Structure 1
Amino acid sequence: MQTIDNTQDLGLLCQRLAKHPYITVDLEFIREKTYFPLLCLIQVASEEETAIIDPLAEGIDLQSFFALMQNRDVTKVFHSCRQDVEIIFELSGIIPQPLFDTQVAAMVCGFGESISYERLVKAVLGIELDKTDRLSNWQLRPLDEHQLEYAAGDVTHLLKIYRHLKEQMTAGNRLHWIDEEMEILSRGTTYVAPPEDAWLKIRHRSHNARVLSALKALAAWRECRAREKNVPRQSILKDDFLVMIATACPKNKEELMQIRGMRKDVASGRLADEMLDVLEHMNVDGKLAKQLKNENINAVPALYELLKMLLKIVSQREGVVSRLIAGDTALQKLAAYKDKDNPALCSWRYEIFGSEALKLRNGELSIRYNPEQKDIEFTDVNRETPA
């Protein structure tokens, strides 16, 4: 293992890594007190070497690393890559290509939903990782040898895991099963969150146009303010307060102060002025309720429950996480006879689930338990034989 703390050595490292068909990558960062994450370490490995890059080293230029991330002859292997790719995209405007996420691959190889790196290392390699340094402050310098070894382990074990998962997927003809997920992770739009859409991530129960319009406007204001000040959005105002303010829609500071739990310093300060201004100038949009998940799908409840049961059976039979086969929206649409552009009816998803879902919906498939085989059977109603 080597530590890279200058531009020249980084350039030479990236030249060597570019000669390999794949490399493993991991980032260490902190973002507890900021809106944008602070990149603290970059770990990379090939089958020949492992390196720790210090992006905080004085004068270091990461352009050769970003160029490597764009080299399409080298597959970049991450585990749970979304946050790491987001940071690279934020710093450079590029997305590593091509991508391979071992957490996603593990979902089609029988390892369950969103398995952690530690659990995957244990399951595949039989190695129990030391978690002592998991919560290290990676911004501090110098880092000790134990911390560096821990960080390096995030990419060295990943090499073997990648080979194992790829071999298993190739043998089962499942490599293409993760193409859609990798394509989503490779889109710039995945990592760009427009402030006007921030309200969609906030839990609430309202379908009232005025309340939703107020929530949308307030959430956009908070998002912009958090970015501008580089502070966590929740440090400005927590989600539940945002919902209560949107519901009450106060017209002045006195009404704002009446909201349960509202702090006096917030209700009487600059935040209050900004929020009241936002509420005063917001436009009420009667169409916002339609943007809510599964709005107006009108699924048949009994059919929806049957499809959920079928999905669970198929998921267990195939060893694939159910949401990769069909998300809840896809199930709702199937149960509402809305088949256009439904991903559950395309490609490999249709082969293992969609075709059977359509038969079940059409009354052509029955599901029963075979007590002799101690297993669940699908039966073609028209032929009365196991499907």
Structure 2
Amino acid sequence: MLIPTEPIWVDQDDQLAELCARWQQQAALAIDTEFMRSDTFYPIAGLLQIGDGKGCYLIDPLAINSLEPLRELLLNPGVTKVLHSCSEDLEVFQRWLGIVPAPLFDTQVAAAFAGLGFGMGYANLIKNLLGIEIPKEETRSDWLQRPLSAAQLKYAALDVAHMLIVYGKLLQLLKANERLEWVKNDCADLVANARKADDFSDAYQKVGFAWKLREQELAVLKALCIWRETEARSRNIPRNRLIKEASLWEIARKKIQDAAQLQRVADIPSRTLKNDTETILKIVADVLAQDPSTWPERLDPPLAQSEGPLMKALKNFVREFAEQTQLPAEVLIRKKDYEFIVRSGMNGGQYSLPARLLGWRHPLIGEGLLHIARQQLIQKGESL
């Protein structure tokens, strides 16, 4: 089959509306985005590529004004949107169009379930399934410049030219292995997670060494992290350009209450010290004035060495299952899932599973993981 790869430029509202009306009848579309994010919090859409099997269309976000036909297309439940490693693309659509496309099919996720490897790049996937080499030299180029270079146009077109063929081959592999529903479920989870409202209340829990802080110090860190998340978005600047997590941790640990102390904290940008010192000190002072009942509980420290045998047993079980089924262990379970299981049974509790292991993963590995954990508990009791 001859795959069209010539880029077709789209920068007129009526042209896009006509194409979207036609694409509403398609079962699936190949989609990709190019964007810039060097010094902003949010990605800036530079290009939208759509492949329909007949052409590679490059839609110019800098020229198109009427976006409703595109929103309707991307939300049409009858049109599957095929993307590769879609997490950043979903951010682009949220910022540019205010939507998360659905239903979607992520070819990187599908490739892992098809036994082709975890985290496979698009160029490698094309080479693996089609034997075609595609260039990647323009990955880091400026997608906001106009006009785009011939090399950029070719690169952008090739990113969607072969995707529907790859989609068809992946569908065949997944149906043969009876894994298509697993991929659909995980892709639906990607959409659901992308649509969740911003919640910064637990951002402090992701800060390195936050577990070392006492309750009041954690309360300060929590408030500072909420401020950083809110302000970075409001000012549209990267988080670290405002202030780094390590600096927030230091402010919280010392409960800094004056400007001279704040200036001695390492790595705080001079602009932040100039513009935000008063705000930061007020955040700390307000938390210190709060009732202790409002403070968060201390975070769990890293797992003790004594939990090592159970962790090893759980990982060995998944590794053996992954080898038997030719499924990457990474698509079955995440590091934090192991930790959840181990922690759930500490201090005499009953072992339990995280939500991610209660769906289709439950009969595959969830039940086995619980059995291993409970057996370890029984053996530990017998040895006492």
Q: Bin the TM-score by the shorter chain.
A: 0.7 to 0.9
Q: For residue 317 of structure 2, what is the aligned residue in structure 1?
A: 310
Normalised by the size of structure 2, how large is the TM-score? 0.85
What secondary structure, in the 3-state scheme, does the structure 2 residue paired with 1:289 have? coil
What secondary structure, in the 3-state scheme, does the structure 1 residue paired with 2:201 have? helix
Matched, 1:287 2:296: yes
Q: For residue 325 of structure 1, what is the aligned residue in structure 2?
A: 332
Q: How far is 1:191 from its partner?
A: 5.2
**Equivalent-residue separation in structure 2 for 1:96 and 1:304 (angstroms):** 38
**Equivalent-residue separation in structure 2 for 1:362 and 1:228 (angstroms):** 48
Q: How far is 1:329 from its partner?
A: 4.0
**Equivalent-residue separation in structure 1 for 2:365 and 2:84 (angstroms):** 27
What secondary structure, in the 3-state scheme, does the structure 2 residue paired with 1:123 have? helix
- Greater displacement, 226-235 / 88-97: 88-97
Counterparts of 1:153-302 in structure 2 under 5 Å?
153-187=158-192, 190=195, 192-205=197-210, 206-261=212-267, 266-267=272-273, 269-282=274-287, 283=290, 285-289=294-298, 300-302=307-309
**Equivalent-residue separation in structure 2 for 1:193 and 1:296 (angstroms):** 29
Q: For residue 357 of structure 2, what is the aligned residue in structure 1?
A: 344
What secondary structure, in the 3-state scheme, does the structure 1 residue paired with 2:202 have? helix
- Matching residue's letter, 2:62: L
Q: For residue 369 of structure 1, what is the aligned residue in structure 2?
A: none
Q: How far is 1:225 from its partner?
A: 1.7
**Equivalent-residue separation in structure 1 for 2:200 and 2:370 (angstroms):** 39
Is the 1:21–1:75 Cα contact (8 Å) retained in structure 2? yes
Task: Please list the CA deviations of residues 158-191 of structure 1 after superposition, one character each: whole Å capped at 9, or x if unmatched.
Answer: 1122111111001110001123322221226655
Distance 1:359 1:245, change over 3 A: closer
Matched, 1:131 2:139: no
- Greater displacement, 138-147 / 125-134: 125-134
Distance 1:125 1:264, change over 3 A: closer
Q: Which has the higher contact order (CA 8 A, sep 6+)?
A: 2
Q: How far is 1:136 from its partner?
A: 0.9
Task: Please list the CA deviations of residues 99-151 of structure 1 after superposition, one character each: whole Å capped at 9, or x if unmatched.
Answer: 11111111212233322212222222222221221111000000122211100
Distance 1:234 1:341, change over 3 A: closer
What secondary structure, in the 3-state scheme, does the structure 1 residue paired with 2:141 have? coil
Is the 2:242–2:272 Cα contact (8 Å) retained in structure 1? no
Is the 2:353–2:370 Cα contact (8 Å) retained in structure 1? no
Distance 1:295 1:287, change over 3 A: farther
Structure 2 residues without counterparts, runs of 5 or longer:
1-6, 377-384
Normalised by the size of structure 1, how large is the TM-score? 0.84
**Equivalent-residue separation in structure 2 for 1:300 and 1:7 (angstroms):** 61
Distance 1:54 1:265, change over 3 A: closer
Is the 1:28–1:41 Cα contact (8 Å) retained in structure 2? yes
What secondary structure, in the 3-state scheme, does the structure 2 residue paired with 1:77 have? strand
Q: How far is 1:237 from its partner?
A: 1.1
Task: Please list the CA deviations of residues 66-113 of structure 1 after superposition, one character each: whole Å capped at 9, or x if unmatched.
Answer: 110011111000111112122212333322121111111112122333
Q: For residue 374 of structure 1, what is the aligned residue in structure 2?
A: none
- Matching residue's letter, 2:357: A
- Count of residues in correspondence between the two structures: 359
Q: How far is 1:296 from its partner?
A: 9.7
Matched, 1:13 2:19: yes
Distance 1:180 1:132, change over 3 A: same
Structure 1 residues without counterparts, runs of 5 or longer:
365-387
Is the 1:299–1:332 Cα contact (8 Å) retained in structure 2? no
Task: Please list the CA deviations of residues 276-303 of structure 1 after superposition, one character each: whole Å capped at 9, or x if unmatched.
Answer: 111111246443435x6x9999995422
**Equivalent-residue separation in structure 1 for 2:175 and 2:267 (angstroms):** 56
RMSD: 2.7
- The share of aligned pairs that are identical, in percent, is 28
What secondary structure, in the 3-state scheme, does the structure 1 residue paired with 2:162 have? helix
**Equivalent-residue separation in structure 1 for 2:148 and 2:268 (angstroms):** 42
Is the 1:23–1:45 Cα contact (8 Å) retained in structure 2? yes
Is the 2:28–2:79 Cα contact (8 Å) retained in structure 1? yes
**Equivalent-residue separation in structure 2 for 1:308 and 1:332 (angstroms):** 11
**Equivalent-residue separation in structure 1 for 2:194 and 2:302 (angstroms):** 23
Q: For residue 90 of structure 1, what is the aligned residue in structure 2?
A: 95
Is the 1:72–1:98 Cα contact (8 Å) retained in structure 2? yes
What secondary structure, in the 3-state scheme, does the structure 2 residue paired with 1:111 have? coil
- Matching residue's letter, 2:121: S
Q: For residue 379 of structure 1, what is the aligned residue in structure 2?
A: none
What secondary structure, in the 3-state scheme, does the structure 2 residue paired with 1:186 have? helix
Is the 1:209–1:288 Cα contact (8 Å) retained in structure 2? yes
What secondary structure, in the 3-state scheme, does the structure 1 residue paired with 2:167 have? helix
